[in-house]
Structure formats: structure tokens, C-alpha cells
Amino acid sequence: MSNPTVNIEALFRKERRLGGARLRRALPSLLLLISLLGAWEIAVRTGAIQSYLFPAPTTIGATFVSMLGTGFPPGATVFDHMAATLPRIAQGYILAALAAVPLGLVIGQFSFLRDASTPVVTFFRSIAVISLLPLSLAIFGPGEASRVALIAYAAFWIIFTNTMEGARRIPTALLRAGRSLGAEGIRLYMSVALPATLPKIFAGLKVALGISWVVIVAVELIGTELGVGALISNAQRLYRTDIVIVGMVVIGVIGYLLVIALDKLEDLLLPWTSRQNRLEGAR
């Protein structure tokens, strides 16, 4: 019988090795970030950069701390803005994914549907989302529905085209094997087409997530005082560059954490693709 103590010690040693490897990979990025912040601080302190254009990192840090309590506008803290923005992003993003993935799977499987839909997709993808803001306000009014609709519109086309391309590339032999094992109709899509397309779907989900954050800044310009986009817009009108940068950092940090969450989910659902990426990165 194996000794449980030995197994636990082996697990601890493995975790220490993995932790050390992660630290070594993160160290160059951390050093670069510290160097850039230090150079930025020195440039502002010496007058090389005007503080009203780019406040020093220490000033921005102090502004962030004050926004945790007092807020901007007074009474609206950073957490209030985040609590307003995140549900808008989530609703539009999830609606886009729920519509784009099944539609892309079906259209990607049939060449005549792909050929018929390509001009339509190209046309609507070429329309800047911001230009649709007046139309969205006219249809849905200046409430939450118009903001969610624009986010869903922007994210939909990216997820859809990635899903369609992934479905197009499914090997015919794989589909034949699924049919020979009795998979037909929805079962074939769920057990064969969807798993084979997941790498491209995740790629589209990550890109669409970034686009959703770009759109939210624009859609929160009108009709609301709460939201990270509204925070940036109001601060810009009052020439509060420090608050603008705080809003930008909040967007960047949340977006980064969400992409990491998607990466972890992809590793969980598609462990073979993460292993392949690691092998390719080691070459």
C-alpha cells in the first residue's frame, strides 16, 4: 500500500514547482510594469509630463482610494459604477452567445447557407456600433434595453463568425463517425459538432468580451450617471484626468480577470488544446 504521507509530500512538492514556474513567468511582466510606473512618476515629478494631462501614478492611486469612499459624483463609489456596468455587459454578452453559437453551428455546416449569409454578415459587421446608438434609443428608449441591445449586437457578429468558421472546419470523417454511432439531428450537433467547434467559439468569446467593454463606454454616455463609461465621460467633461485613468484601469483589470476566467474554463473543457498550446509555446 502507498504511504499517504509520501503522496501528500509529493503533491506539495509539485505545487511548489508549479508556483515557482508561474512566478518566473510573471516576473518579467511585473518588472516591466514597475519600471513603467516608476518612469511615469519621475517624468511627472520632474515636469517632463504635465500633471494635468497624465497625473502621477501616486496621484491616481490616491484618487482611486478616495473613490472607494466619497465617489464620483459624490455618493457613487467605484463599486456602484461596477455594479451598474457588469450586469449590462453580462446580459448583452450572454444574449449574443446564446444566439450566435447555435446559429453559427447550423450555418457553418452547409455551404449554401454560408454563401448566402456571407454578404449579410459582412455588411452588418462593417457598421460601427456607435452609429446605431440613435436608432437603438429610438427603438428601445434611453433605458437599459438600448445599452444591452448594442452590446449584444457588437458581440454577436464576432461569436457568430468564429463559430461558423469552426463548424466549417469540422472534418467530414468526424461527422460520418458520429452518424455511424447513431448521432443524428440535435444529438449530432451536441455530441460532435459543438465539441469540435469549441476552440474557435472560445476565441470568439474572448474577442467579443473585449469589444463589449469598448461598446459599454459609448452606450453609457447617454441617460445614466452610473457605470464605468458614465464615470469616464463625466470626469472628462470636468477635466479630471485622474478619474478618467481610474476608470480605464478598472475596465482593464476587470476585462483581464474575465479573460483569465474564460481561459480557465477553456482549460477545463478543452484540456487537449491547452496542452497543445503549451507545447507550441515551448518550441
Provide φ and ψ at 13, rounded to 5°.
-65, -40
Highest mean pLDDT among 41-45, 92-96, 224-228, 262-266: 92-96
Long-range contacts of 232-241 (CB under 8 A, 24+ apart): 234/72, 234/73, 235/72, 239/52, 240/72, 241/52, 241/53, 241/54, 241/55
For residue 59, being part of any structural domain is answered with no
One domain, residues 269 and 138 = yes
Q: Mean pLDDT across the stretch 39-66? A: 88
* Same-domain check for residues 263 and 182: yes
Indicate if 171 and 251 belong to the same structural domain: yes
Q: How confident is the model at residue 99 (pLDDT cuts 50, 70, 90)?
A: very high
Burial class (CB in 10 A: 0-12, 13-18, 19+), 46: exposed
For the residues 95-118, what does the mean pLDDT come to? Answer: 89
Q: Is 94 in the same domain as 32?
A: no
CB atoms within 10 A of CB 83: 12
- Of residues 197 and 81, which shows the higher confidence score? 81
Does residue 52 sit within a domain? no
Number of domains comprising the chain: 2
Does one domain contain both 118 and 180? yes
The confidence score (pLDDT) of residue 244 equals: 92
> DSSP states of 102-137 as a string?
HHHHHHHH-HHHHHHHHHHHHHHHTS-GGGGHHHHH
| CATH number of the domain that residue 143 is part of | 1.10.3720.10
**Same domain for 39 and 90?**
no
- Is there a domain that residue 71 lies in? no
Check whether residue 94 and residue 199 sit in a common domain: yes
pLDDT at 74 over 90: no
What mean pLDDT is reported for the chain? Answer: 82
CB 228 within 8 A of CB 250: yes
Enclosing domain of residue 164: 77-282
Residue 70 in domain: no
For 187-222, the pLDDT digits (tens) are 777 777 777 888 889 999 999 998 998 898 888 877
The answer to whether position 51 is within a domain reads: no
- Whether residue 68 lies inside any domain: the answer is no
Task: Look at residue 54 and tell me if it is in a domain.
Answer: no
Domain identity same for 131 and 250: yes
Backbone angles phi, psi at 51, to 5 degrees: -65, -25
pLDDT at 134 over 90: no
25 and 117 assigned to the same domain: no
pLDDT given at position 279: 37
Between the ranges 178-192, 215-229, 264-278, where is the mean pLDDT highest?
A: 215-229
* Same domain, yes or no: 220 and 144: yes
Residues 6+ apart with CB under 8 A from 178: 188, 191, 192
Closest CA to 231 of 55, 63, 53, 59: 63
Instruction: Note whether 255 and 125 are same-domain residues.
Output: yes
139 is a domain residue: yes
- Together in a domain, 137 and 31: no
